[in-house]
Amino acid sequence: WPPPPPPGWGGPNPPPPNLWGGPSVKFSSASFTKRVTFPTDDPAAEMNYAGPGSEMPEGLWGIWWMDQAGFSSVAKDPDYPWAMVATPEMLASFGPEKPGSGGVDKFGAYYEKDTRCVTPIECYGGPQWAAFNNTGGDVVFGGHATTRNTLSFCYGGDGTDHINIFQKMLWSEASVGAVTVGPWAARALGCTDAGLGYTWINGGLINMTMERRSWGWDRVTTVLDLVQPSPLHEAALQQMLPSWLWQLVKMGLAMQKRVVAHYPLLQIVDGEGKRTEYFDEWLAFSRTKKRSGNLQMKFPGPMTGRKLGPKPGPKPGPQAEN
């Protein structure tokens, strides 16, 4: 482990697992328009999290605070290389599968023993992903709903101290960060087919990992660690991308300089539902000025009239197994 990449592989390194990893077509086709709100001081009452008796690895039990703003004592430690542009996304969990609602067959993730992946973690809906209940949170969930952004957390190596995070989204809404590039530009940028209308995002664009630490996990994101495209692909990118985005890509290709972000992922509720040493820090942050004292999650609601779910991507070229 990990298995060798397929011949000619140009996607994330190491390559994503061979299994699909969800979500189900029924789940991804639902309209996540129902907002469920809850106070920041009691996330365990609403979120689906793993604990004793589940098949989830113990290192992912409980509820986790994505301290992108660098508020915690861990982030403020001079020895920690915190560097991150914060988003309104706040809490994540890795709860096991349970019955769904609103026409969705099931919520939750599962542990693929063959690939050592916890998947799927859908960022657009379900009781495992929470953002502030404010305009910023609305924007974040709106973006995830459009792309159907889905994550797989896969252990690398022989142990449980390193996790590769693989990201997939709809070909038709393929994006780099908050910028929609579309299916053809996505393929030119090295994104590959994930099946059922989805694409794996090229790890050279955004490569996400987690490194185990005594206090939790160090979330590391490397941006624009690109391989040089062929002249044909470079010409295609220039035609497909907005001029300003092409200039950024061109600059990144010329400099080949990695941009690396770090933020701590801290457990605030353990697998038994007990508050941890970082809960008070989380609560203090959640109540700071210009922050919301409530969180929101998205659940299946009435259809909005827009047909969601998988749509055809570009005509396939050489594909990796999925």
Quick check: is 218 in a domain? Answer: yes
Rounded to whole angstroms, the Cα distance separating 99 from 111 reads: 17
- Does the residue 133 lie in any domain? yes
Average pLDDT, the chain: 83
Average pLDDT for 277-303? 87
For residue 185, pLDDT beyond 90: no
Does 234 map to a domain?
A: no
- Kindly state whether residue 248 falls inside one of the protein's structural domains: no
pTM of the shown model: 0.82
Q: Residue 93 has which token pair?
A: 């969990």
Domain presence at residue 315: no
Task: Inform me whether the pLDDT recorded for 190 exceeds 60.
Answer: yes
In a domain, 209, yes or no: yes
pLDDT band at 256 (very low <50, low <70, confident <90, very high): very low
Encode pLDDT of 298-317 as tens digits.
999 875 444 444 454 555 44
**Does some domain include residue 199?**
yes
Mean pLDDT confidence for 283-300: 87
14-23, 70-79, 83-92: lowest mean pLDDT where? 14-23
Which structural domain range is residue 72 located in?
Answer: 25-226+260-299
Nearest to 204 by CA among 242, 235, 233, 232: 233
List own/partner pairs for 25-28 with CB under 8 A and 24 or more apart. 25/196, 25/309, 25/310, 26/103, 26/104, 26/105, 27/100, 27/104, 27/105, 27/106, 27/122, 28/122, 28/148, 28/150, 28/308, 28/309, 28/310
Q: State pLDDT tens for residues 19-67.
A: 557 788 888 888 999 999 999 999 999 999 999 999 999 999 999 999 9
pLDDT score, position 51: 98
d(CA 60, CA 36): 24
Query: Does 41 fall in a domain?
Result: yes
Q: Report how many domains make up the chain.
A: 1
